[in-house]
A and B are shown apart, each in its own frame.
Chain A
Amino acid sequence: MKFLTTNFIQCAVKGCQSSDSSFPLKYEECELVAETQEFKPEFLVHMLEKINWSALVQVARDLGNDNLPTEKPELDPIMEDDVLILKDLHNLLVETNILNGKMICNNCGHIYFIKNSIPNFLLPPHLCN
């Protein structure tokens, strides 16, 4: 699972949907791997509008990266300096994959496992509906 996806995924349990603490999930014991992907600056800028930056910083800290700025950067793909930052972001958001690990909902405490980079969001029967 790409690091970018962690900024959008939330607990699948119905009761947690309305709760603020179900996003972001807490990441534990994660094994990361880098994969080269095509660099698309326009896509990154587009996603940057959607990204919840504080959640991004929090998840990065869970995964052992404390170097993110606390404020969301405003970037333009035409500026040369910004392209460098975008490349860093690309490296972090798109090329970093979580291979194995655990995601824990802060609200209900359900643990979702990531295996072979696929998170398992199947719910046990008692948590359905």
Chain B
Amino acid sequence: MSRPEELAPPEIFYGDTESFKYTSSTRVQHIQAKMTLRALDLLNLSPDEPHFLLDLGCGSGLSGEILTEEGYNWVGMDISPSMLATALDRDADGDLILSDLGNGVPFRAGTFDAAISISAIQWLCNVDAVGNDPKKRLLRFFNTLYASLARGGKFVAQFYPKDQGQIDDILSAAKVSGFGGGLIIDEPDSKRNKKHYLVLSAGISDRSVNLEGAEMEVSAKKDKRKLKKLESRKSFINRKKETMRKRGRVVANDSKFTARKRRPRF
């Protein structure tokens, strides 16, 4: 499937027809709801206190609906007028603001207790207009977001990165702005259902993010020589056979006798 990010800028791609299609699709609704709940789960906000949330790239308020159901008050920002119009039609409870995330978050310091963003920030990596520098826009976005969060405020963003480069750009911009945190990947082995969540916090909070079930990724880069030492005789032979097969050579078939030692005959 092609990426909508590659077709047109967001405010044009999400025109009237696409907004309607997007919002009325039960599949999209279901996925959005699931991701919003997961993001809230990661935020780990205390259930007894009221919270004021910011929804970045709120679109037609699919995620906002969940926020309202969970009892949060929220403000949504989006760049597409059609999406916001759809949100108005759907009677979204939060306030809606038409704004470009890359130009910053226009709120004064310490406004929000937390922020979420569902499938939005990958759009910031695009160059849609002359003079747009994705790195600058990301930095401006994270800087102003950091300022508008209360101390200890947390930000969870689900996004669809195109490649590792976009992940690195986003992570480094967040780090430069002062955020602490990292990336959580749900279902990393599935190509279809893989979901990236950026989990950040502005300063230290009393309740840290909920990292239950998360595993640290062990860095795959090890010394090549050490790896070779660790490799068994059998896996070495299988590896060599595989490379030869790839090169189109004729290679003996694998069997249970492959790489077995020849016993001396009596």
A interface residues with partner B (beta carbon < 8 Å): 1-2, 5, 8-12, 14, 17, 23, 37, 40, 42-43, 46-47, 50, 52, 116-123, 125, 128-129
Q: Is there an interface contact between A122 and B50, defined as CB atoms closer than 8 Å?
A: no
Q: A12-B99, A117-B88, A125-B129 are in contact. Are A46 and B52 (CB under 8 A)?
A: yes
B interface residues with partner A (beta carbon < 8 Å): 49-52, 73, 75, 77, 79, 81, 84-85, 88, 93, 95-100, 103-104, 106-108, 110-111, 129, 131, 136, 140, 144, 147, 150
Q: Is there an interface contact between A129 and B136, defined as CB atoms closer than 8 Å?
A: yes
Q: A12-B104, A12-B106, A128-B103 are in contact. Are A121 and B97 (CB under 8 A)?
A: yes
Q: Is there an interface contact between A10 and B50, defined as CB atoms closer than 8 Å?
A: no
Main secondary structure of the interface of A (DSSP, over half): loop
Q: Is there an interface contact between B99 and A122, defined as CB atoms closer than 8 Å?
A: yes
Beyond known contacts A46-B50, A121-B97: 17 more, CB 8 A cutoff: A8-B107, A8-B108, A9-B107, A12-B103, A12-B104, A43-B52, A52-B108, A117-B88, A118-B88, A118-B98, A121-B77, A121-B99, A121-B103, A122-B79, A122-B100, A125-B129, A128-B131
Partner of B140, one of A11, A46, A125, A129: A129
Q: Is there an interface contact between A1 and B95, defined as CB atoms closer than 8 Å?
A: yes
Q: Is there an interface contact between B107 and A10, defined as CB atoms closer than 8 Å?
A: yes
Main secondary structure of the interface of B (DSSP, over half): mixed
Partner of A122, one of B85, B98, B108, B131: B98
Q: What's the Cα separation between A9 and B95 when bound, in Å?
A: 11
Which B residues lie within 8 Å of A2 (CB)?
95
Write the nearest CB–CB distance from A26 to chain B, whole angstroms: 15
Q: Is there an interface contact between A43 and B84, defined as CB atoms closer than 8 Å?
A: no
Which B residues lie within 8 Å of A116 (CB)?
85, 88
Partner of B84, one of A37, A118, A128: A118
Which A residues lie within 8 Å of B106 (CB)?
9-12, 121
